[in-house]
Structure 1
Amino acid sequence: MAASSPPPTGQTAPFAYQTTQLVYVTNLVSDSVSVIDTSTNTVVGTVTVGDGPRGVAVTPDGARAYVTNSDSDNVSVIDTSTNTVVATVTVGDGPQGVAVTPDGARAYVTNSDSDNVSVIDTSSNTVVATVTVGDDPRGVAVTPDGARAYVTNFFDDSVSVIDTATNTVIATIDVGNLPSGVAISPDGTRAYVTNSGSDNVSVINTSTNTVIATITITIGVSPTDVAITPDGTRAYVTNLGDTSGGVQNVSVIDTATNTVIASITVGNGPQGVTVTPDGARVYVTNSFDDSVSVIDTATNEVTGPPISVGDGPTDVAIATIGTPPPPPPSDRRGRVVSKKPLKVHERPARRSPVEGSLRPGEVVRIECKVDGHRAKGNDAWYKLASEPRGWVPARHVKVLDPPIPRCSDN
């Protein structure tokens, strides 16, 4: 990070927003997690965890990494500020995948040998629910609004959809053969599922929970994992098996056309994949040569030498640690928590004209807040930066990207 010049005499220095991005890689054989600093692409730490670590997910604030240990039937919780294990949570048999909800309150863990999903309360690091799903659940992903969790069932050729409010399965979707990885588009409208046995990717419409497209992996075998760029335009798929020419690669899918537009040769046995928050780079674990490849998304080429990690790297996740700058007004989000459609008013007053309405659970963009007509003890109102434009009572919207500035300061 470049150093900033000191302020002129008599002026106060602006707050310095400093962040570090760390990549957490589970090493299945060596029972450890390698920590990579993205600024140098070097390993800066190794954390000993349970037996057979497979999945890893990081809380939205970057403070904790949750690691599934498939052979010891538990989850290691890593404090990313110290890179030490601060808790161990017993779950089901053969835990594989893990995903954390957008609010950071819950971690969903797939247990492949007990055919269920453990739900961990991250504040207490205890299991608060167990959800029965299909045969051999592997991958799991949560929608951006936190309302649904999508779980791939490897031997059932299906995906279970869990309602996170009730922790019950509300739909089962037939997909391709031996589904493993799953990722949700940033707008929450699509789920991409890798089918390792049929060499294709199923695209699910999350509003209808039906498959609307099947993408054939033209150059690649056994698609295993998938990650989507923050702008939602590309999906990166790791192909674990060899092609006829002995090449192991990553397929790049254009999500607008749902076609493969590039194939990138990486290391031996590509398995886990993740994208940096700015969308500039993709990190891929090469499970058979104990390394991580880094892809430049602008060129779709591998940049730099492979990064040596532990034995059998499997999954990968990125933690942003530190104090990031606040998002611009149009990027601050909130989720409607009212039980009924929420009216959007022309002014911050209940008796002002209604401009439209928002459905319960809908994610909106917030520009700023003011004090307006009091609503059951809360006089704050949010000005929307997304359609329909207008004002809503703050008591009916849960902020996802705090803080919300006052309109006079915006």
Structure 2
Amino acid sequence: MPDISVKPTAARWWLRLGIALTGLSAVAVMATPSVADGPKPPPDGARAQFAYVGNLIGGTISVIDTATNTVTTTLNTGSTDAVAATPDGARLYTTSLVSDLVRVIDTATNTVLTTVPVGDAPEGVAITPDGDRAYVTNSRDNNVSVIDTATNTVTTTIGVGGLPIGVAITPDGTRAYVANVGGGVSVIDIATNTVTTTIPISAADAPFGVAIKPDGTRAYVANVGSDSVSVVDTATNTVLTTVGVGDRPQNVAFTPNGARAYVTNQNSDNVSVIDTTTNTVLTTIAAGDGPFGVAITPNGARAYVTNENSDNVSVVDTATNTVLTTVGVGNGPRGVAIVSPPSSGPKGKVVSKKPVNVYEEPTRKSEVTGSLSPKQVVTIECKANEKDDDRALGGGDDGIWYRLAEEPRGWVESKYVKVLDHVRVPSCPDQTA
């Protein structure tokens, strides 16, 4: 078994929590899902963005406003490890490996809606691109719980390898990749919820965190035992190459264009930046003490790195690969996700009486890319003043442009709908077009 010990401070935390596992005394950790997994949220600026940070020891979630890099809210949730948001940003799913449950948080109000009992020592969590299901790794049970997000109940449990930690889902929503510290990466067919293959990465490597490249062609697996990242071809589920990184790599996140992968190295206190074309390390960024989780903003401009031992978050400028600032958070920060919560303002609906054209963008009206069927519902956000509506893209006498959002959830990127003859009223009830 490789030496995969952590720094003394982190080790003491685990012993106090009673999470030490035979032969793997301090490896019960999770992979933070990248914002690059699945569909991208609305473009930066459309809605306020926050970094939600799970604090394992502090029993809280710190909410960082990414515009000011200050903590605006602290949620007293109980011990929190992994965090993952639904594609619409409305819900946050967080794991508690101490309590063996998943908490579901309403991001508009920052309150816990419900808890979902899962297996023993849940660590990682990832949500399907359609937002319908959450996949949770249960490290002591060697399985994955599948949660129906409509009912927030576990619908099935899938056996995987030994000590599953990281989990990531392909952008097309067809497969989930689970990193097992005991050896191998399990590939789950989401349609059938069965393991179709196991990618042979050894127990000596101790595969730990996993992320999927935005185009879905590669899975990058952080190997805590061999200080490396395995690059997996998702078409063949074979390892193409291995990239050496820092000491005890934990998690991986991609820039939205997939050009670079950011890898947290917990024992060397830094972040390796991998060029995904050449699969070489471009540079190494000094972080805080014990960097663990990493998430990148949808525009790719910033990376947020949780430092587990120094109780803070390093904010990295990805253009210069330097730390811009450090934000203090709770005790033992681990998981991090970038979230654009829905506005808490009133909402309305537009129901079309006839087909409505969908355009690539408002300024290119001749390029019709699709249409809405009669009576198809398009959810819009309504406010008393049209100027304040962050989804209104302009308009005129013949209608108002809105970004197209499919019911019941989810953004369709770069698609816009023109709602004809829409009459806007201050109270913004349901309207017909």
Query: 1:365-394: per-residue Cα shift (whole Å, max 9, x none)?
Result: x9621599xxxxx9xxxxxxxxxxxxxxxx
Provide the rounded CA distance (Å) in 2 between the counterparts of 1:261 and 1:222. Answer: 18
Match of 2:139 among 112, 123, 126: 112
Q: RMSD between aligned alpha carbons?
A: 2.6
Match 1:92 to one of 101, 119, 130: 119
Displacement after TM superposition at 1:77 (Å): 0.7
Q: Is 2:289 aligned against 1:268?
A: yes
| SS class of match (1:53) | coil
Give the share of equivalent positions with the same residue, in percent.
55
1:47 corresponds to: 75
Counterpart residue number, 1:198: 226
Out of 382, 385, 401, which is 2:412 matched to?
A: 401
1:48 CA drift (Å): 1.9
Relative to the length of structure 2, the TM-score reads 0.71
Higher relative contact order (CA 8 A, sep 6+): 2
- Aligned partner of 2:217 in structure 1 is 189
Matching of residue 162 in structure 1 with residue 188 in structure 2: yes
Aligned match for 1:249, one of 253, 270, 279: 270
> Any conservation in 2 of the 1:368–1:406 contact (CA below 8 Å)?
no
**Aligned letter for 1:86?**
L
Is the 2:359–2:370 Cα contact (8 Å) retained in structure 1? Answer: no
Counterpart residue identity of residue 216, structure 2: G
8 A contact 1:109–1:119 mirrored in 2: yes
Name whichever structure is richer in strand by fraction: 1
The aligned runs of 1:53-92 (5 Å cut-off) are: 53-92=80-119
Q: Displacement of 1:229 after TM fit? A: 0.5
Listed as ranges, the gaps of 5+ residues in structure 2 are 1-44, 344-357, 362-366, 377-408, 421-433
Residue 175 of structure 1 and its aligned partner are, at CA, apart by: 1.9
> 1:295 aligns to what?
316
| Alpha-carbon distance in 1 for matches of 2:265, 2:294 | 11
Aligned to 2:257: 231
AA at the equivalent of 1:229: T
CA distance in 1, matches of 2:372, 2:68: 46
Query: How far off is 1:32 after superposition?
Result: 1.2
* Consecutive unaligned residues in structure 1, runs of 5 or more: 1-16, 243-247, 331-365, 373-377, 379-397
Distance across 2 between alignment mates of 1:399 and 1:315: 23
Within 5 Å, which residues of 2 pair with 1:306-385? 306-322=326-342, 329=360, 368-370=369-371
Shift of 1:408: 12
Show the 5 A alignment for 1:122-137: 122-137=149-164
State how many pairs are aligned. 324
Amino acid at match of 1:285: T
Please tell me the residue identity of whatever aligns with 1:180. Answer: F
174 and 402 in structure 1: CA distance in 2 versus 1, 3 angstrom threshold = same
Change (3 A) 1:234 1:371: closer
1:37 Cα deviation from its structure 2 partner: 0.6
Post-superposition CA distance 1:157-184 (Å, at most 9, x none): x100000000000010012511111000
Shift of 1:401: 1.1
Q: 1: CA distance between counterparts of 2:225 and 2:113?
A: 38
After TM superposition, which residue ranges in structure 1, 4 or more long, deviate above 3 angstroms? 402-409
